[in-house]
Amino acid sequence: MFKIARPRQSPRRLSDFILHPSFFFLLFLFLASCTTPTLTPPPVTAAFTPAPSLAPGETAPPIASTPTTAPTTPTSAPIKIHYVGLSVAPETIQRAAQEFGWGFEQTPEASPDDIRAAAQSGAQIVIVGGQELQESARAIAREFPQVYVIGFGLSGDDLPPNMLSLGGPGSREDQAGFVAGMAAGFATENKYVTAISDPNSVEGRKYRNGFLHGVRYACPKCRVEFIDVADTADTETARTEAAKFVLFGSDVFFAAAGEAGDAALVAAAQKGGWVIGSGNDVYVSLFGNGSTAGADRVLTSVYLDAGEAVRAALAAFHDGKPLSGVQPLSAASGAIVLAPIRSPADRLSIPDQADIATALARLADGSLETGIDPVTGEEK
């Protein structure tokens, strides 16, 4: 084994010390301590996202020109909507324009010349309300193919590719009735519900039979009765009949029969029945936003809303997927509206509400059918 010799305690000569083995060992340590270490500089945090690796032969662009967000397609002017007419709620359209950062203009008292003027004004979207203006809207859509035109109630025959027509005979009142029927089936305690209906019109039959199937879907054992209205203006008869059915034990009522249906709902609510409206939010329109007697018995309302269908169409346009052709008012077009549910939790619980929302989504995507012919209103 190698040993290091112990140095002498008192060397008398420098040469003796230098030649000592310990001298070389100490010299090695001294020189090693004087060597400057190589330092690794700390990483520098970049203020921008590095560009991806370049293929051979490519040249990196200047850093200042590297975009931080996805580029957008430039437009010559901001999107502007011009609404010609009054028949569709302009506030819904205006809210959608504000949401998307678009401009909004309206010409309430309208004529065909106003539609043409709107198309010539630089508006990219022209919405035309009023049945009397729809044929003019079709003609002007052909004249201005760069303008997206939304109208109402036209057939699909000879419709220009830049035009969307909402509503018409294929609209799905049966889907609205189905959702109302589900709500009634969940809400009833007596397992006994009533619908006030107009069997003489296609729309009335779709509401009526859609309601029947919705109740069966939610409550197969529930009893369903109908007050069929021969004259939708006969409010007195409808009111009297509805009050009788409350006495008979029916505890939830749905109405889709014009003035007569509205009168029946008020009578049923004031006698203690729970009510579901159609056409609009009856809590606001029929019960004075809570000020009319019986307002505390309003469960909800289910109805078709053309304004919401327009809003859905504008959202599709915003996403770069404009709709065209004929789109009936339906769950798929965003037109079936469920008004706020105002009932106590023991009537329409959170799980009940979730089931209704799921059914509405399934009606929209086609995975759930009402079982009603959307053309005739008859059961399939």
Q: 44-65, pLDDT tens digit by residue?
A: 333 333 334 434 444 434 333 3
pLDDT for res 369: 97
Percent of the chain at pLDDT exceeding 70? 80
Q: 217-275, pLDDT tens digit by residue?
A: 999 999 999 999 999 999 999 999 999 999 999 999 999 999 999 999 999 999 999 99
For the chain, list the domains and their CATH numbers. 77-166+305-336 (3.40.50.2300), 173-304+349-365 (3.40.50.2300)
Residue 85 binned pLDDT confidence (cut-offs 50, 70, 90): confident
DSSP E strands: which ranges in the chain? 80-84, 103-107, 125-128, 148-152, 163-166, 192-197, 223-228, 252-256, 274-277, 298-304, 325-327, 336-338
User: How far is residue 190's CA from residue 50's CA, in Å, rounded to a whole number?
Assistant: 68
pTM of the model: 0.76
Average pLDDT, the chain: 84
Residue 344 binned pLDDT confidence (cut-offs 50, 70, 90): confident
Torsion of CA 195, 245, 272, 204, to 10 degrees: 20
User: How far is residue 135's CA from residue 111's CA, in Å, rounded to a whole number?
Assistant: 12
pLDDT for res 327: 93
Structure-token pair, residue 101? 């950062």
Structure-token pair, residue 159? 């419709």
pLDDT for res 22: 53
pLDDT for res 77: 59
